[in-house]
Amino acid sequence: MKVLKFGGISVKNALSIVAVKDILRRDNEKKVVVVSAFYGVTDTLCETVEQIKQNNVKKAFDLTNKTENLCLKISSELIGCRNSHNFIKEKFKEIRQFIPALCLLGEVTPRSIDMILSYGEKISSFVIADYLNATGLKTAYIDALQIIKTDSNFNRASVDMTKTGASVKKILLPLFKSNDCIVTAGFIGCDKDGSVTTLGRGGSDYTASVIAVCAAAEKLEIWKDVNGIMTTDPKVVKKAKPVSQLSYKEASELAFFGAKILHPKTIRSAIMAGIPVYVKKTSEPDYPGTLIEKNSENKRKVKAATFQKNITIVNICSEKMLGAYGFLSKVFDVFTSYKTPVDLITTSEVNISVTIECCEHLQDIVKDLSAFAEVDITKDVAIISLVGEGIKYTPGIAVKCFFALKDINVIMVSMGASEANLSVIVKQSELQRAVSKLHHEFFEKKGE
């Protein structure tokens, strides 16, 4: 048995849902299918919430009509859908009843936001199940609220694995007796009082991972609009190619340093349970995609290069601190007091360079640091990170990196703690050139 998750772009319109059906038809394995809302629907529902907050009843109704029409269009284009039309009508009737009531109250609570956002997935999962059944695939639809049990942290709920595990075993798995496929909604769940919760934006991956663990699936497939995780952003380097295998640590480093493909936290439970996770492209199902596992298969490699733009370096120097102690802690207290996360750090006894992304309190930070040090700011730099657990084991990687960048000014270097990444900082204006050179060195040469 496997769990497949299809994101919003994979269920964008009738045509893409037909492609989903073809993917499900490729083998006879039993499947749980977790789907996101149709593309754009969650965003429009969020916009509807904003209009309700501003008491714009008419705009909220207009947006609701727009979303309803989109859902009806998709279901009418999917040949054979029998029950979807009425289901959609009914659900939008419910939404329309909330709007004036919430506007009247003049406040939209996190709980009511979740209530409204949940309709995106409630509808897409019902329509897709209805369609799959019509195509002859024996499919059961299950309301996610029946199985995904969460705490009451609305908008960002956490799943209660014990309760969810119990309902998966009691309600979901028995459906396989007379079905080959079970469809449910990603992103939504329900708390102990029966209120609808959501798992945070992009939360469908989390749902899929939880179900994979609770149902002891053999694998989890996350279907997207990209061929897995790439060696770098293909918008920057055309020759970027998919990475065949990554460890969980590598995938996390990539996400942390700017790659936006997958939020590793969301698949953590599946990985920890030893379930392999595949990231694949809906429009090219023959492509192997990227496999993410707990441990790295090929430890002798740099797997990908990622980058972050709009970074600022704060360089802090205090000769008074020579031989004294407490310098680092004084410096970090300042960043902490302005709730500003520090990303990379390099230090010598009297000098620290740190990078920050958020510059909201930069002026205050500089003022406070200046009380005991000289401070110098470099703006508009970018961090490029080479990621791979192999960096720890393979001699010569730093040499290759700096050789590739031999005519580019490297402002700061960081390699350490996690041992799965080597980061360099360059001027933002040099970013494209630097990434291309690194990509060429590590991923385009023979044998790479």
- Contacting residues toward Mg ion, per CB under 5 A: 7-8, 36
Contacting residues for 7 by C-beta, under 8 A, at least 6 apart: 36, 204, 205, 222, 223, 224, 225
Cβ closest to Mg ion, residue 207 vs residue 252: 207
Which of the listed partners (Mg ion, ligand ASP, none) does 201 bind, with a CB threshold of 5 to 8 Å by partner kind? ligand ASP
383 binds, among Mg ion, ligand ASP, none (CB under 5 to 8 A by kind): none
- Contacts for 432 with CB less than 8 Å, ≥ 6 apart: 236
Q: Closest residue (Cβ) to Mg ion?
A: 8
**Rounded-to-integer distance, Cα 57 and Cα 76, Å:** 28
Is residue 119 near ligand ASP by the rule CB under 6 A?
no
Determine if 388 is a binding residue for ligand ASP (CB under 6 A): no
CA distance to 8, 183, 210, 312, per residue, from 30 (Å): 23, 11, 17, 50
Among 120, 165, 388, 390, binds ligand ASP (CB under 6 A): 120
Q: Burial letters for 212-233: b for 16+ Cβ neighbours within 10 Å, e otherwise?
A: bbbbebebbbbbbebbbbbbbb
Q: Is 123 helix (H, G, I), strand (E, B) or coil?
A: helix
Q: Closer to ligand ASP by CB, 189 or 202: give it.
A: 202
Q: Which is nearer to ligand ASP, 113 or 375 (CB)?
A: 113
Name which of 36 and 64 has its Cβ closer to Mg ion: 36
Euclidean distance between CA atoms 94 and 81, whole angstroms: 21
- H/E stretch holding 290: strand 290-293
- Interface with ligand ASP includes 204 (CB under 6 A)? yes
CA–CA gap between residue 388 and residue 397 (Å, rounded): 11
Q: Least distance in Å: CB of 54 to ligand ASP?
A: 22
Min dist CB 223 to ligand ASP, Å, is 12
Nearest partner of 13 among 105, 68, 77, judged by Cα? 77
Q: Which of residues 41-100 bind ligand ASP (CB under 6 A)?
A: 42
By CB under 6 A, tell whether 184 contacts ligand ASP. Answer: no
Does position 186 interact with ligand ASP (CB under 6 A)? The reply is yes
Closer residue to Mg ion (CB): 7 or 228: 7
Shortest separation between residue 37's beta carbon and Mg ion, angstroms: 8
Q: How far is the CB of 16 from ligand ASP (least distance, A)?
A: 14
Decide whether 8 or 189 has the Cβ nearer to Mg ion: 8
CA quadruple 263, 264, 269, 270: dihedral positive or negative?
positive
Backbone angles phi, psi at 278, to 5 degrees: -110, 135
Q: Report how far residue 46's alpha carbon sits from residue 112's, in angstroms, rounded to the nearest whole number.
A: 11
Q: Which of 154, 187, 307, 335 binds ligand ASP (CB under 6 A)?
A: 187
Closest approach of ligand ASP to the CB of residue 163, in Å: 21
Let me know the angle formed at the C-alpha of 298 by 295 and 303, rounded to the nearest 5 degrees.
Answer: 95
- Nearer to ligand ASP (CB atom), residue 36 or residue 48: 36
Size of the site for ligand ASP (CB under 6 A): 12
- Nearer to ligand ASP by C-beta: 210 or 331? 210
User: Is position 7 an interface residue for ligand ASP (rule: CB under 6 A)?
Assistant: yes
Least spacing, CB of residue 8 vs Mg ion, in Å: 4
Written as one letter, the residue type at 220 is L
- Which of 2, 4, 6, 8 binds ligand ASP (CB under 6 A)? It is 8
Residue type, 19: A
Identify the three-state secondary structure at position 224: strand
Does 203 contact ligand ASP by CB under 6 A? Answer: yes
Tokens of 300: 């002798």
- Binding of residue 264 to ligand ASP (CB under 6 A): no
Give the residue with the Cβ less far from Mg ion, 133 or 227: 227
Q: Which of residues 10-39 bind ligand ASP (CB under 6 A)?
A: 36-37
Q: Name the residue among 213, 207, 262, 289 with its Cα closest to residue 34.
A: 207
How does strand 304-317 pair with strand 421-427? Answer: unpaired
Residues 35/124, Cβ–Cβ less than 8 Å: yes
- Residue 264 binding partner per list ligand ASP, Mg ion, none, with a CB distance cut-off of 5 to 8 Å that depends on partner kind: none
Pair 123, 73: CB distance under 8 Å: no
Residue 187 interacting partner from ligand ASP, Mg ion, none (CB closer than 5 to 8 Å by kind): ligand ASP
Q: Among residues 12, 59, 96, 201, which is the contact residue for ligand ASP, using CB under 6 A?
A: 201
Q: Which is nearer to Mg ion, 8 or 390 (CB)?
A: 8
